[in-house]
């Protein structure tokens, strides 16, 4: 569905809900998603501030 959406519209795509861990964020980034809502994952300790470094390394 994401691939079809990216072909049809040319606006940033954001994911809301369902992000469980940093690997989910990396997968979203690799699939062209511009951003994601991660509040619950932060509150539950599933994603930590230090984990975001992994995402930054992936984006280089």
What is the chain's pLDDT, residue by residue, as a tens digit (60 residues)? 767 776 787 888 899 888 999 999 989 988 888 899 999 999 999 999 888 887 776 655
- pLDDT of the residue at 59: 58
Residue span of the structural domain in which 41 resides: 2-59
Cα–Cα distance measured from residue 35 to residue 50, given in angstroms and rounded to the nearest whole number: 18
Number of domains the chain is built from = 1
Distance (Å, whole) CA 54 – CA 8:
30
């Amino acid at each position: 569905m994401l691939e079809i959406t990216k072909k049809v519209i040319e606006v940033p795509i954001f994911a809301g809900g369902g992000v469980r861990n940093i690997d989910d964020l990396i997968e979203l980034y690799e699939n062209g998603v511009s951003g994601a809502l991660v509040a619950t994952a932060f509150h539950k300790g599933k994603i930590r501030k230090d984990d975001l470094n992994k995402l930054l390394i992936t984006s280089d």
